[in-house]
Structure 1
Amino acid sequence: MITEIIIFLIIIYFAKTIYTEFLASGNPFSSSNQQEESIIEGKFTPKTLYKYNGKDHPKIFMAVKSRVYDVSQGSQFYGPGGPYENFAGRDASRGLALNSFDPAVLTPLDEPIDDLKDLKELEKESLESWDEHFENRYKIVGTLHENGTVNEEIKGL
């Protein structure tokens, strides 16, 4: 009788351990995974995008031509200490078009989104090349908006 109880308790212990490991390994039905998905997709403003800079949040997002990309897998480039870290959590369109990492090319968060209308033809081509690079490499997680609307002119550059 005692042997049967001990065996039963051992079976319960292992079943509980396996179930707990299953949940911790990324169960798709887990509420924490569902919550993460809902946090990272949708509409961003320059201020809401900024928190995804690799310092304030583990995810790293950046916008190019009004599309927001999850560049977290390239954290060595876009994260803290990386050569493109100025673009993390920001609209990088002008900097990419000008091939400049200077923080001065970034539009301040409290100003309207850069319309990029003054770009020269070569700068537009450079931006288009970068846009294709990001589109082929990173997941789009949303769009960059100002006052609830996306700037369609920027998307069409």
Structure 2
Amino acid sequence: MSDAVRRRKLEKSPKTKKASATNEPEPVDSEGEIVEPVIAKKLLDDEDAYSPWIDVLRVITFLFVASCGLSYLISGGESFFWGMKHTPNYLKSTWWKAKLGAPLYLTLEELSAFDGTDPEKPIYLAINGTIYDVSSNARTYGPGGSYHYFAGCDASRGYVTGCFAEDRTADMRGVEEMFLPIDDPSVDRHWSKADLEKLKAEELATAKQKVYDGLKHWVDFFARSKKYHFVGYVKRPKGWPGTEPVRRLCDAAQKNRMKRQIPGQG
């Protein structure tokens, strides 16, 4: 009896008649319910409109956010998007001006403004009159860095003597003394006056060569560096360095001097 009732209800259903008339099954949803044609068309259109690039974009976005978060944790709060204390060179207009423009010519007073204390300015140092941008190594040349003494000045003398705090100058006069033997009458009496003068001349030439080689090592280091970039030159006052008194050799360099050795006892 119940089967007959079901058959009569199905025969009376317009949707069933329509399906039998066209010999096509009606679209149904995930629960088996018949879906209206308009809704079915919308579902088909949505399916056709789906693009796998949406999922690709979602994955890329996730990876980007995760990368930023990891960068934040590793860098201790300093990254490209969070609190950059040391902005990369390529984001600084001064760097592009130095790369694309004419060389800068700065006095020592002007150069001192680029010692790293102003975060809005690059860090410059000069050696032998040539200025370089060392902002990429702000931890070393910036405030608190081990070589901060070299920032904002031309400390060529300090590169050779090792007296960073005392010799923040490019005046190299007298530096060769650090490589000269200490005069000692008890030792010097082993040479005749003429031989001693000749020996001292040779010692002086050797000492000057050591100063030249020591400074040249650092000059070449900055000139060849791919990390530090050429900026320009230091403007010197007329008559420099003769406009200043000759500096005395710093204590650390003075202490390293040795006595002249007696012939045959070297």
For residues 53 and 133 of structure 1, the distance between their equivalents in structure 2, rounded to whole angstroms, comes to: 20
Give SS of 1:54's match. Answer: coil
**One of 110, 113, 118 as aligned partner of 1:51:** 113
CA change 1:80–1:146 in 2 (3 A) is same
Ranges in structure 1 where 5+ consecutive residues have no aligned partner: 1-27, 108-113, 152-157
Bigger Rg, which one: 2
C-alpha distance in 2 between matches for 1:80 and 1:61: 13
Aligned length: 114
Q: Deviations over 1:74-125 (max 9, x none)?
A: 1111111110001110112011111232x21124xxxxxx431323232321
Q: Percent identity?
A: 29
Aligned pairs (5 A) from 1:6-155? 33=93, 37=97, 41-56=103-118, 57-101=120-164, 103-107=165-169, 114-120=170-176, 121=208, 122-137=210-225, 138-147=228-237
SS at match of 1:105: coil
What amino acid maps onto 1:115 in structure 2?
A: D
4+ residue stretches of structure 1 with deviation over 3 A? 32-36, 38-41, 147-151
Measure the CA separation in 1 of the matches of 2:215 and 2:143: 23
Instruction: Please give the alpha-carbon distance, in whole angstroms, between the structure 1 residues aligned to 2:102 and 2:110.
Output: 11
**Long gaps (5+) in structure 2:** 1-89, 177-207, 242-266
RMSD: 3.1
Q: Distance in 2 between matches of 1:83 and 1:40?
A: 31
Tell me the distance in 2 between the aligned counterparts of 1:33 and 1:46: 22
- TM-score, normalised relative to structure 2: 0.38
Between Structure 1 and Structure 2, which shows a larger proportion of strand residues?
1
1:98 touches 1:123 (CA, 8 Å); kept in 2?
no
**1-structure distance, mates of 2:232, 2:139:** 22
The 8 Å contact of residues 115 and 124 in structure 2, kept in 1 or not, is answered as yes
